[in-house]
Structure formats: structure tokens, C-alpha cells
Amino acid sequence: MNELPGDLLYTNDHEWLRREGDGSVTVGITEHAATSLGDLVYVELPEVGQDVDAGGEMAVVESVKAASDVYAPIAGSIAAVNDDLADDPEKINADPYGDGWIVRMTLSDGLDESELMTPDAYQELLDELDD
Amino acid sequence: MGSKTPHYDKHVEAGARIVDFGGWDMPLHYGSQKEEHFAVRQNAGVFDVSHMTIVDLAGERARDFLRYLVANDVAKLKEYGKALYTCMLNADGGVIDDLIVYYMSDTDYRMVVNAATREKDLAWIREQARAFDIDVVERSELAMIAVQGPNARALAAPCIDAEFREAALALKPFFGMEAGEWFVARTGYTGEDGWEIVMPAAEAHSVWDRLLAAGVAPAGLGARDTLRLEAAMNLYGSDMDETISPLEAGLEWTVAWEPADRDFIGRSAIETLRNSPHRQRFVGLLLEDKGVLRNHQRVVVDGVGEGEITSGGFSPTIGRSIALARVPAGDYDRAQVEVRGKLLNVRIVKTPFVRNGQIRIDV
């Protein structure tokens, strides 16, 4: 497994979140999540404009093996979705932190970083899972 | 920690993701399930199937015993090595297991049964065998691989002892033969040509290495499942079990009704169902909308009733989702499947979906 990008925040459910500087955030699933699921074959995306609660189901990623929910790491509304995933869901396997992004969100409230995990904290979680 | 096959170290060495399967530590994939799937459809892949249970039957009345034990009729087997796919039923007509029987002689047969059903199968077979005075010998000391794909036999042939190689290459589909301490059969579970090869466990590692060196891809249980689903081959425990008869699992072709006076376990129960107008259909589904069909999803047939997906997934070859499903009796070719609260459109198609590398349905 590659090193975790240091500029992202993470969740217990293996999502990542990038602060875009304009108050919005980009969200995807981590390499660990993508690898565990295996080759992705379908992604169900939310509607642009849809409001989501923190921890609410936001998207579904399906691999040859199984379906898995993607949860919103924070409350907000969907500003954009990665339409490329409709034809090429394997972008999530190939580049989970880049071309494999899933949604962009505008936040209802500010970003409370204490609710999320730093790269070091997430790495610790992964290390525990390996044991 | 589960049981380990003789190939286990080779799986770890090849970077396999190991999962529990019926008490065995087995490879799910070695990196990409889809690449393994395509390797088998286009070239050759090797599966470790040593977890499956080999049972040798011997006795003067072995033929009579098997004609009673299973729903297909071993009296059809007249040539050495010929294989027969069949269900073993309980008295209610439910499927205890599906299996392959190889005919060695009227007094010697080899059976290969599923791994997850091993204990109950052996107990059942031994119980039934008592009245026929049959020796039932489990061959757990042997390793077994399946080499599958259009180039599988050509790439695997050098592994076979030179003395038997030509005869092995001349095997017709659904025949097997002894080759010294080995057993080679032109059978499989992928819809492709290939062999299943039984060998002493001590040779498992060297044969595995030679196959990989020859360009055969190691393939895991994940690819095995998508390949068999595309080939519309049933999976025990998913498409049928002890509560389901072969008639409602698409396996009527494996039931030998003739001769009518052959008594086999479960016969009277399934005879009743045979002519019932309410008998459920077992069909192939192609998803016309986007999404993925999964096991246990509800199938809705407008104005007719409801059924259930027994095996669903994504077909790498077709690039869409397919499924096997048990649905109500009736004449219709469209239905809907409930996926996360939404009804998606499916078309009922004639299976197999894929065979010998070719898509066999209209997409």
C-alpha cells in the first residue's frame, strides 16, 4: 500500500476529504477501501444539489464482489459529482485520491477537523486492521 | 485459521488475498479478479481446487448403489473415464449436493463433491452405502487443480508424464483418465476448455510453479464465481440447497426419469413436482438498467408474482450485470429487480450467458 497523502483528512469508514480552499471539499474512498472491494464495476452517485447529513449514505460503490455505501464525512450539499465514474468506475482503483474522486461538497457549517482523522491517525487505524 | 491446501504457500507467495471458504483458507484473488477472469476467457488460468472432496467408491454393487444414490443414471456411463454431472437428493427431493461421478468400471467410480458440504455428504453416502457393501474412501491426501481457458491444455500438457501426455490431450470433453498416480479430466467450472488434474500433494508446488512459468495465470475464487455465473453453472448453497429440488434450480436435464422403474432417493417427491403447473422457473437475467444484481434481491413480475435472485453479479465479459433467479411459473420475458428500493428492468435470457469466450445472449 502506498503512503497516505498528507494533505487529506480521513474517516473511520475509509473516506478521504480534501479542503479546496474555497470552503468546499472533495470526497473519495481511500486506497485501502478500494483495494478491499476489488475491481470496481459500478458507482451510484447522488444528485447535484442534494443535501446530506454527516454520516449519511451518499453514494454506493460496487465491485465484482460486493456493494458498499459511501458516507458523507460531514454535513453539506453536493456541488459536483465525478461523472467519469459512470463509464470508468475503475478510476477509483487506479487513482483513488485523484481521478477517482467521488463528489465535491459545500459545507453547511464550518469544517470541524476534530471530527475527522489526520493521516497519522488513519495510518494507525490501518496498521491495527493489518494485525 | 482454516484448513490449508497443499498449494497454500504458493498463494501467499503470489500475493493472494486469502479468505475463508467452507473452513478453508483460499485465495479470493491475486490482485485483480477481473484480470484473472479475462486470463481464463482468453488464455489460461489455474485454480486451486484441492479443497474439494474426492471420494472413491468400490464394490461389486457400486453401479446399483449409484443408480440409487443420485438422480442422474450412471447406467449411461459405458466408456472408461466418462463423467456424469448429477444431484444427490434427500427423500424430499431437496439437493444434498451436486457432484461429478467418473466411471472407471462397473465396480469402481470416483466422485468429486463440494468442500463446504464434505461432512454431511460423507455421512450420507456412508449411511446409504451400508446396504450395498461399498467401500467409501475419501482421498484427502490428494491435491487438485483446474487449468482452464482456450490455451489451458496446451500450456499444461508438459506437466503431464510423457507416457500419458498424448492420451490426456486426446481426452474428449467430459472424460477423465488415470495417468500413473495422477488423474486428468477434461472438465471444469468456467465454460472454457481445460483440465481438472488430481495429483499427490507432494507434487502440488512444482506443478503450480511450472504452470505459472508457462504463462498460466493464478486465478482465485472470485474469478471462479464470475466465470461460472457467465457459464450459468449452478453454485451449491446459492442456487440450490436441501430445500430446493433440481427441477426448480434449472437442473432437470441432470435427472434421468427413464427407466421409469429405477428407484433413486428423492424420486417420488420430484415426480409430484414434475407436472405441477406452479413449478417455479429458473432463469437467466440481464440487467438493462445501470447497477449490479446481487444474491437475494427480489424479482418482481408484474401481474404474476415475485421471485428471488440466487446468484447475481457483474459479468466482466459482457460488461453488464447478470443473474440466475428463481421466478414464478408463467410465460413472460421481462421483470424488475428491487435494488436499494428502486425497481430496475431485467430481461429474461436463455443461458449460458458466455461459453468458450463468446457472448451467447443478445445484449
Rounded Cα distance between B178 and B280, Å, is 41
Rounded Cα distance between B279 and A67, Å, is 32
> Is the confidence at residue A110, as pLDDT, over 90?
no
> Is the confidence at residue A126, as pLDDT, over 80?
yes
Cell of B174: 467430459
Looking at residue A63, which CATH number applies to its domain?
2.40.50.100
pLDDT value, residue B106? 97
Distance of residue A39 Cα from the nearest chain B Cα, in angstroms: 6
pLDDT value, residue B205? 97
Q: Within chain B, which residues score under 70 in pLDDT?
A: none
The yes/no answer to whether this complex scores an ipTM above 0.85 is yes
Q: Tell me whether B237 touches chain A (CB under 8 Å).
A: no
Asked whether residue A122 is domain-assigned, the answer is: no
Cell of B83: 463423467
**Torsion over CA of A7, A8, A9 and A10, rounded to 10 degrees?**
-140
Strand, coil or helix: A129: helix
Distance of residue A49 Cα from the nearest chain B Cα, in angstroms: 20
Choose the closest CB to B291 out of A38, A42, A66: A42
pLDDT digits (tens, 9 = 90+) for B204-249: 999 999 999 999 999 999 999 999 999 999 999 999 999 999 999 9
Contacts of A67 in chain B (CB under 8 A): 292, 294
Q: Tell me whether B224 touches chain A (CB under 8 Å).
A: no
The amino acid at A12:
N
Return the higher-pLDDT residue of B262 and A109: B262
Rounded Cα distance between B305 and B327, Å, is 8
- What is the SS3 string spanning chain B? CCECCCCHHHHHHCCCEEEEECCEEEEEECCCHHHHHHHHHHCCEEEECCCCEEEEEECCCHHHHHHHHECCCHHHCCCCCEEEEEEEECCCCCEEEEEEEEEEECCEEEEEECCCCHHHHHHHHHHHHHHHCCEEEECCCEEEEEEECCCHHHHHHHHCCHHHHHHHHCCCCCEEEEECCEEEECCCCCCCCEEEEEEEHHHHHHHHHHHHHCCCEECCHHHHHHHHHHCCCCCECCCECCCCCHHHCCCHHHCCCCCCCCCCCCHHHHHHHHCCCCCCEEEEEEECCCCCCCCCCEEEECCCEEEEEEEEEEECCCCEEEEEEEECCCCCCEEEEEECCEEEEEEEECCCCEECCEECCCC
> Is the confidence at residue A131, as pLDDT, over 70?
no
Asked whether residue A131 is domain-assigned, the answer is: no
The pLDDT confidence band at residue A113, using thresholds 50, 70 and 90, is confident
Asked whether residue A62 is domain-assigned, the answer is: yes
Is residue A30 within 8 Å of residue A18, measured between CB atoms? no
pLDDT value, residue A109? 82
Asked whether residue A21 is domain-assigned, the answer is: yes
> Is the confidence at residue A124, as pLDDT, over 90?
yes
- Look at chain A and report how many structural domains it folds into: 1
Cell of B283: 432463469
CA atoms within 13 A on the CB side of B61: 11
pLDDT value, residue A3? 85
Mutate which of A36, A41, A47 to disrupt the B interface (most B C-beta within 10 Å)? Answer: A41
The amino acid at B294:
R
Q: In which residue are the cell numbers 483446474 written? A: B146
pLDDT digits (tens, 9 = 90+) for B154-211: 999 999 999 999 999 999 999 999 999 999 999 999 999 999 999 999 999 999 999 9
pLDDT value, residue B219? 98
Find out whether the peptide bond into B259 is cis, omega within 30 degrees of 0: yes
pLDDT digits (tens, 9 = 90+) for A19-47: 998 889 999 999 999 999 999 999 999 99
Choose the closest CB to B314 out of A44, A64, A86: A64
pLDDT value, residue A23? 86
In this structure, the number of other CB atoms found within 10 A of the CB of residue B61 comes to 16
Q: What sign does the CA torsion over B246, B248, B251, B255 have?
A: positive
Asked whether residue A118 is domain-assigned, the answer is: no
Asked whether residue A66 is domain-assigned, the answer is: yes
Q: Are strands B217-218 and B45-48 parallel, antiparallel or unpaired?
A: parallel
- CB contact under 8 Å between B313 and A64, yes or no, is yes
Stated length of chain B = 363
- Closest residue in A to B314 (Cα–Cα): A64
Q: Are strands A67-71 and A51-52 parallel, antiparallel or unpaired?
A: unpaired
Rounded Cα distance between B337 and B343, Å, is 5
Helix axes B33-42, B221-230, angle to 10 degrees: 50
pLDDT value, residue A108? 83
Distance of residue B19 Cα from the nearest chain A Cα, in angstroms: 12
pLDDT value, residue B63? 98
Cell of B159: 506437466
Asked whether residue A57 is domain-assigned, the answer is: yes
Return the higher-pLDDT residue of A129 and B51: B51
Asked whether residue A119 is domain-assigned, the answer is: no
CA-to-CA separations, A77 to A24, A25, A51, in angstroms, rounded: 10, 10, 4
- Burial class of residue A55 in the structure, from the number of CB atoms within 10 Å of its CB (0-12 exposed, 13-18 middle, 19+ buried): middle
Q: Which domain holds residue A67?
A: 9-108
Rounded Cα distance between B18 and B11, Å, is 8
Choose the closest CB to A62 out of B37, B222, B292: B292
Cell of B185: 479430466
